[in-house]
Structure 1
Amino acid sequence: MKLEPTFINDLVVLNPAVFEDERGYFFEAYNKSKFLDLGIAIDFVQDNQSFSKRGTLRGLHYQNPPYAQTKLIRVLQGEIMDVAVDLRKDSPTYGQQFGIVLSAENKKQLLVPHGFAHGFSVLSETAVVLYKCDQFYNKESEGGIRFDDPTLNIDWGMDLAAAIVSEKDLILPHFENCNSQF
């Protein structure tokens, strides 16, 4: 497993060691010991999986303390544009975003720590996304930012006019009005 830092402190891309032969491939998506060797000491407690069609946009979501979640995101099938936005007010990269294409083919994972909003858009016909969380979901602590926020101006890799977005995500506040407590 190789750790690839991003320009945002604590937000990292993980590239697994993939072993391929005539049968297919094998890799460890998560190994607590190897993560500890990389300096990642996270106790994951919940796995979430979603299936989405092309054009679906989920996010931007976060949970406020004390229920903030670190997420380890990977794609089991298809391809997504995965985006994290730094909500840590004391961070030099506050309000900045990082986007990366995650796919079943490239096998990359994004580790999104506490203090970030997260979302993704589906670029392939369908996508199955799995993410590990270090905290259980708590409805009272959830927050979000509207996906088409003009301040953030995120490139989701798709036509936003045709995006399939939940009613819940359509009523999220803009970045300047979000209730982030980081």
Structure 2
Amino acid sequence: MDTHNRKNMPEQISKSKIIIHRAMYDMHWAENSILSIKKCLKEGFSVEIDVFILNGRSYLGHDIHNLIQIQPKDIDLQNVFVHLKTPSSPYFKNADSFFIDKGQIAYTYFGRQWVNTCIKDYFNSNTIGCSNELTGGEINEGHIIDALINGSWVCTKKPLHFISLLSLT
């Protein structure tokens, strides 16, 4: 990380601006599980989870062959971003949701931009950027730091790396 970013970093970047991909805090936690979601939220992070709606029922999981049936109320929590894998959605009062099939940008139910890469042009408080490791690239620490400094959320599967890098507690 360059010193310019460190010098201009706000005194406190909220951990809730770091969205943990599939609620998988580290490799020992199950992805897309209710327990992992609750643990991440308790630690102060936000989470991105995958949900399918099939025959009017909600299922948690990334892979169609490994789904867990859930009640929407179990995931309707602040700082939960629901990545809909099917284009229908239950109503959420607290959780934000989005559907993205093809393309780089989706709009969430609450009007935020979900951008499938961390592109500087989109850094603002209404944007969620995916860290490049989620789309097959290398982590660009500078882009992630810039995004967080500018108020964006960042979705990553390496939250501990950024906690250490930013000295967040």
User: More helix per residue: 1 or 2?
Assistant: 2
**Which has the higher relative contact order, 1 or 2, with Cα contacts under 8 A spaced 6 or more apart?**
1
TM over 0.5, shorter chain: no
Higher strand proportion (structure 1 or 2): 1
